[in-house]
């Protein structure tokens, strides 16, 4: 029997859950990790959309320090957002919530101007 200190992280995104599952399968093969994926609906002022939650724990088979698990969660949140065509994601830890924002106009990135036709 193996044990490890308990530490949980959840990643919340909207988008296609099937694309997300494929991205996660690929990343778990790249470097050991075990995650859960649960479908969920987001209901907010003026709208609703389908999405998913990715659950991560400090799994004794692939033990990690909390800072390393958080780094992997942020990496996955950005990867999933890009691959499922989303602008943002939430990474929720026991003590803090991180909003990952990929919107160019809000992150300081410059979007190339399009030529007028």
How does pLDDT run across 91-116, given as a tens digit for each residue?
Answer: 999 999 999 999 887 655 544 455 55
Spell out the SS3 assignment of 41-87: EEEECCEEEEEEEEEEECCCCCCCCHHHHHHHHHHHHHHHHHHCCCC
- Tokens for 98? 């991180």
Q: Which residue from 16, 19, 31, 11 is spatially nearest to 78, judged by alpha carbons?
A: 11
* Residue 38: predicted pLDDT: 98
Give the mean pLDDT of the chain: 90
- H/E run at residue 22: helix 17-30
Q: Which domains does the chain have, with CATH numbers?
A: 8-107 (3.30.70)
pLDDT exceeds cutoff 60 at 29: yes
* Residue 111: predicted pLDDT: 47
* Residue 113: predicted pLDDT: 52
- Rounded to whole angstroms, how far apart are CA atoms 32 and 63? 9
């Amino acid at each position: 029997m193996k044990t490890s200190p308990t530490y949980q992280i959840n990643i919340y995104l909207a988008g296609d859950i099937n694309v997300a599952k494929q991205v996660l399968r690929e990343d778990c093969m790249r470097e050991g990790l075990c995650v859960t994926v649960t479908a969920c609906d987001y209901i907010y002022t003026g709208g609703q959309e389908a999405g998913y939650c990715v659950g991560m724990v400090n799994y004794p088979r692939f033990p990690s320090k909390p800072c390393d698990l958080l780094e992997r969660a942020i990496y996955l949140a950005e990867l999933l957002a890009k691959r499922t065509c989303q602008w943002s994601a939430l990474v929720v830890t026991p003590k803090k919530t991180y909003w990952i924002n990929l919107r160019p106009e809000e992150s300081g990135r410059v979007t190339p101007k399009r030529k007028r036709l």
